[in-house]
Amino acid sequence: MLYTIILNIHNIMRWVVILTGAYAVFRAMQNEKVWDSSANLARSLFVNSMNIQFILGIILYEFSPLMQEPFSVAIKDPQSRFYLVEHPTIMIAALALAHIGSAKVRKATTDKQKYKFAKIFFSISLILVLAGVPWLRRLLPV
């Protein structure tokens, strides 16, 4: 029961991460002269939504029925391997890049640098998120 609830929240949060990521990339691509509060909000929303999603993912990982199987058995099944190894690895890389990009934006001394770092790191992070999402699973919980 708890697993299903957390899975549904994680599933809904996927859309929050994708939308905030798209917004952060959109703002970064605008190359405005001044890094304003809306660009900073986009950065913050994306990184924080990814943080929440990561925490939910760790909880899911612990409660997952896949964790009840021996790893040597689960790794041989492509779907189990995706959820146990590939999905977490891709998403941790995406989270790391979002955090690195956010830190570089905060530390950048010019607005031009801020837009450049946001564009590079948030775009790659969003691409990884899109690559790591299990698209064959229901897009919204039932």
83-127, pLDDT tens digit by residue?
889 999 999 999 999 999 999 999 999 999 999 999 999 999 999
pTM, two decimals, is: 0.91
Give me the helices (H) in the chain, please.
Answer: 2-29, 37-63, 71-74, 78-81, 87-107, 111-132
Q: Show the CA angle centred on residue 102, arms to residues 19 and 111, nearest 5°.
A: 100
Quote the CA–CA distance of 10 and 59 in Å, as a whole number: 10
Q: What is the pLDDT of residue 79?
A: 86
| H/E element, 135 | none
> Which of 31, 24, 15, 26 is closest to 45 using CA atoms?
24
